[in-house]
Amino acid sequence: MEMDKINVNNMLAIEEPFMKAPLEQLKRSIRQSQKQAERETAQINAAISNMIKNKDMFSAEEMDKALGGFIERLKILRRKLEESKQEEAQLISRSRQRAADLNELSSFSSTEQPEFQRWCRTRMERVLIDYMLRNGNVDTAQHLIENGNLEHFADTSLFALVMSTERELRENHSCRSALQWCAENRSALRKVQSTLEFELRLQEFVEMARERHVADAIAYSKKHLVAWSSTELPRIQRAMTLLAFSPNTDCSPYKNMFDMGRWDYLANQFRMVIFQLFDLPAQPLLHLLLQTGLSALKTPACISDDPTEHNRNCPVCHLETLGKLAQDLPLSHHVNSNLVCRITGERMNEDNPPMRLPNGYVYSHNSLKDMALKNDGKVKCPRSGQSFKISEAKKLFIS
Amino acid sequence: MDTLIRNNEKLAKHQAGASQKVLNAVDAALKALETARNQLSESIATAGDGDDNCNSTHREAVAKTLLAQVERSQTTSSEQLKELYTNVSKYGKLVDKTFKLDLGGVAESRAFEDKREVLAQTILVHFLREGDFETARRFAAEARLQLPEDTKAQFEEMYGTVAEMRRAPRHELSAAIAWAVANRRRLEAADLAQLEFALHRLRFLQLVEAGQAGDALAYAREWFPRFATRQLAEIEHLMGIFIYARRLGSSPYAALFGERRWEDGAHAFAGAFCTLLGLAAASPLSVTVAAGARALPVVCKVSGLLRDKRIEWSQQNELPVEVPLPDAMRFHSVFACPVSKEQATRDNPPMMMPCGHVVCKASLDKLARGVRPGSIASGRFKCPYCPGLSVLSDARRVYF
């Protein structure tokens, strides 16, 4: 029965990515506000200081015009800050709602409670929503969100950004959004030493080379690639050499550089970096849960050739679906025995001991007793079909 | 966790305050600009072609005042935002402390690499099983999968029936009972004959609860006799209910009328339905995720140690650690030899000694080999757990 108790700490532990996500977005939003405010006011300050220094060079009209300009810019800034305020409030609220939902766990006392089972069903939905959003199955995700009232648990906008940028890279072969994002997050990217921006610039260069716009390519490299020469010089040099080759070349590494597969690589890189920055696990939680879960359930019986070893309730024994997924995963580890009666599926322990029939097959005491009561003291082994008297069954001790 | 929620509320208040102050600061700067502009236009109006030097000094004064105000506004904004960021970081650390797991530490297995379609199919079947047809349809469309039409049709029947059973206050049982009667033989073969009785029992109780004692008795007369052999005790118990027909709430039968009986009935029906379809009683995906919820934290905790030894948890033959599972998630027997603590395999099966104790074959061989020839009873060794003596040839294979 102690297994029916709920280990709250362990259960909460896996929810960590759900709790972290809104906070990282929150931090990013505040940082952006800080930068915007600083930039605007710094420029305005500089302009005003300039007017003071060169007071004789500015007429009243010019000054008035300048002030008008500042007012416009500050109004734009104010609007952006207003938007950030709403977004930040929403993120904090989202974080609270998630915490409240998870906190429900501590109010349950046993896994048998229907409330707990309902909580588990919600968890399943959350995990699936996360999976769907990451995979780009937006319609399905939206439907699950609406059905389960799980708006606060889905990081829809974050994944939408990832999806649209990836699509632009993968399908439209354009680096525009990705580069824009890099520009907005330059310092964060530098902190993790990401070369994503360089890779994107390189790709734009390659596309120019592909179109044989050699002069443009060289100008582009001067503007955007040279900045990286302290760390990426060999690759820049290789890029320049690329101009001497035709896009159909078979000569590697130039062939690889022209390969359209690079766009998929860039999309993956973008995804990985943005997840890293937002502290999200690289793979969906569903994968991790399934993999560890399958391993924990997988026993030699599941992969046995003997079909009588399979239990239809065991997920791993579902060879077409979960069994296939479990193929390359480790088996479960046990230092303690746990016996399950083939007839009833119940645990065989001191209260319901395992009984060995003369043919070697073992069943629970209770199941044999039930069988004997209805069959005149006789029991029939379901696996071999042989019949015995119940008195022939011998009690086993396994510890 | 309560601390977390409280801190969150505090943070929300702070954010509201700080953001407002920032907006106010910008507003102050805007106002300063407007004022400066007004002052300028006044001076343009009054000065005309007049003393340009005086005007330029005036402009300088206006500009200097403006600069000071704008700088002050910026300082306020900057301070507020910085404080807000610090507060958010602190909150973030509290979250880290509450959810102490670092999932990044668990490397994902490559096991799913080429199995995207299998996973998608598994998820699709899950939606169907749970009766979520709309989601199944959308997912199949987005993932470009084939919706197994025949399975869907079968499940649709089940969910219609179960939904009727669950729906208060009618709790319509007729469809479920009709199904159970129609599938009587198959249910008996699958050892699920008690489902039909359970449904009749629900109907019987429903009639009693509605005050229709006569109907209830008639119902019992019609349906209970078939189950007399197996369910006699229960039938006798139920028939006693007529004594208390008018005061069920205070009778010993009160517990039978709990709200849970409908959910239990629905589950029993769904389980039996799925069993007859050859399926598991609960969605395998849900079961696996539930197992994973227990396994992942455990694996996470050891993965740090594994990484030091350059071992990947997913590349091993066995998990590095035991994951405790409840009885509901135990589908196969596992035997761990009490002597060697190793799991039994086909090559190392469990063996029973005449005393009834079971150890694995390898341990048995070790015990037998440890006997010195010419000692007390040659060839005989003592069971590690009781005084029983045995010889190797006495040991018998055990099949769990």
pLDDT digits (tens, 9 = 90+) for A28-74: 899 889 988 988 888 888 888 888 887 777 777 788 888 888 899 99
Inter-chain CB proximity A290 and B397 less than 8 Å:
no
Per the listing, tokens 């599938």 go with B183
Nearest to A289 among B138, B278, B293 (CB): B293
Strands ordered across the beta sheet of B358-360: B358-360, B350-352, B396-397
Smallest CA–CA distance from A309 into chain B, residue: B332
Give the number of other Cβ atoms within 10 Å of residue B243's Cβ: 11
| Subunit contact A325:B118, Cβ cutoff 8 A | yes
With 0-12 / 13-18 / 19 or more C-beta atoms within 10 angstroms meaning exposed / middle / buried, residue B32 is buried
Chain B residue numbers with beta carbons less than 8 Å from the beta carbon of A52 are 60, 63-64, 67
For A306, other C-beta atoms within 10 Å of its C-beta total 9
Reply yes or no on whether the pLDDT at B374 is more than 50. no
Q: Is A338 helix (H, G, I), strand (E, B) or coil?
A: strand
Name the average pLDDT for chain A.
Answer: 88
Average pLDDT (B374-384) is: 65
Planar angle of CA A340, A345, A350, nearest 5 degrees: 50
User: Residue B88: its chain A contacts at CB < 8 A?
Assistant: 23, 26-27, 30
> DSSP per residue over B233-277, as a string?
HHHHHHHGGGGGTT-GGGSTTGGGG-THHHHHHHHHHHHHHHHHT
| Nearest-by-Cβ selection for A329 from B111, B284, B328 | B111
pLDDT band at residue B355 using 50, 70 and 90 as cut-offs: confident
Is B218's pLDDT higher than 90? yes
CA distance B400 to chain A (A): 5
Which chain A residues are within 8 Å of B112, Cβ to Cβ? 287, 290-291, 325
pLDDT value at residue A1: 46
The answer, yes or no, to whether residue B67 has pLDDT greater than 60, is yes
CA-to-CA separations, A380 to A110, A385, B272, in angstroms, rounded: 37, 6, 24
Q: What is the mean pLDDT of residues A179-185?
A: 90
CB-closest option in A136, A143, A347 to B138: A143
Predicted confidence (pLDDT) at residue B339 exceeds the cutoff of 80? yes
Residue B253 has phi, psi (to 5 degrees) of -90, 0
**ipTM of the assembly?**
0.84
Please tell me which residue of chain B has the smallest CA distance to A22: B92
Q: Which of B143, B294, B346 sits opposite A10 (nearest CB)?
A: B294
A367 and A343 Cβ atoms separated by less than 8 Å: yes
- Using a CB-CB cut-off of 8 Å, the residues of chain B touching A312 are 275, 278-280
Asked if A14 lies within 8 A of B101 by C-beta distance, the reply is yes
Residue B292 clears pLDDT 90, i.e. is over it? yes
A321 vs B284: CB contact, 8 Å cut-off?
yes
Which residues of chain B have a CB within 8 Å of the CB of A3?
324-327
Residues 6 or more apart whose Cβ sits within 8 Å of residue B90: none
For chains A and B, CB pairs below 8 A equal 416
Would you state the structure tokens that stand for residue B100, as one six-digit string? 């102490």
- CB-CB: which of B99, B275, B329 is closest to A13? B99
Chain A residue closest in CA terms to B13:
A89
Model confidence over B226-250: pLDDT tens digits? Answer: 998 888 888 998 898 888 877 888 8
The vertex-A346 CA angle with A341 and A347, nearest 5°, equals 85
How far is the alpha carbon of B169 from chain A, nearest alpha carbon, in Å? 20
Which chain B residues contact residue A332 at CB under 8 A?
A: 318-319, 322-323, 334
Residue-wise over B100-121: b if at least 16 C-beta within 10 A, else e? Answer: ebebeebbbbebbeebeebbbb
Which residue has 């702070």 as its token pair?
B14
What number is the average pLDDT over the span B319-331? 88
For all residues of chain B together, what is the average pLDDT?
A: 84
Q: Are B371 and B380 in contact (CB under 8 A)?
A: yes
| SS3 label, residue B107 | coil
Three-state secondary structure call for residue A339: strand
Q: What's the pLDDT score for residue A375?
A: 85
Q: How far apart are CA B358 and CA B381, in angstroms?
A: 14
Q: Which two tokens stand for residue A50?
A: 């300039």
Who has greater pLDDT, B121 or B102? B121
Phi-psi region of A260 (alpha: psi -120 to 50; beta: other; left: phi over 0): alpha
For residues A76-88, average pLDDT:
92
Across the interface, of A23, A93, A394, the residue whose CB is closest to B92 is A23
**pLDDT of amino acid B105:** 62
Contact A302 B332 (CB under 8 A): yes
B121 pLDDT more than 50: yes
Considering only the beta carbons, identify the residue of A77, A92, A127 that sits closest to B12.
A92
Q: Which pairs count as long-range contacts for A300-305, CB under 8 Å and 24+ apart, including other chains? A: A300/A331, A300/B343, A300/B345, A300/B346, A301/B332, A301/B333, A302/A326, A302/B332
Tell me which chain A residue has its CA closest to the CA of residue B60: A52
Q: From the list B66, B85, B104, which residue is nearest A27 (CB)?
A: B85
Of B98, B103, B330, the CB nearest to A347: B330
Predicted pLDDT of residue A278: 85
pLDDT tens column, A218-263: 999 999 988 888 888 998 888 888 888 888 888 888 888 888 899 9
CB B195 within 8 A of CB B269: yes
Residues of B in contact with A281 (CB under 8 A): 103-104
Q: Measured between CA atoms, how close is A138 to chain B, in angstroms?
A: 8
Note the pTM of the prediction, 2 decimals. 0.79
Contacts of B34 in chain A (CB under 8 A): 71
Q: For position B310, what pLDDT does the model report?
A: 66
The pLDDT of A357-376, averaged and rounded, is: 90
CA distance B222 to chain A (A): 24
Q: Calculate how close chain B gets to A167, using CA atoms only, in Å.
A: 15
Gyration radius of chain B over CA positions:
38
pLDDT digits (tens, 9 = 90+) for A329-353: 889 998 889 999 988 888 898 889 9
pLDDT over threshold 70, residue A4: no
| Chain A partners within 8 Å of B141 (Cβ) | 139
Going by pLDDT thresholds of 50, 70 and 90, the confidence category of residue B104 is low
Indicate yes or no: CB of B22 within 8 angstroms of CB of A114.
no
Quick one: pLDDT at residue B49? 57
State the Cα–Cα distance between residues A309 and B188, nearest whole angstrom: 22
Residue B54, pLDDT score: 63
- In the prediction, which pLDDT does B288 show? 95
Mutate to test the interface with B, among A8, A268, A290, A318 (most CBs of B within 10 A): A290
| pLDDT value at residue B79 | 92
Given this model, what pLDDT does residue B84 score?
92
Q: Which residues, 6 or more positions from A203, have their beta carbon under 8 angstroms from its beta carbon?
A: A175, A262, A263, A266
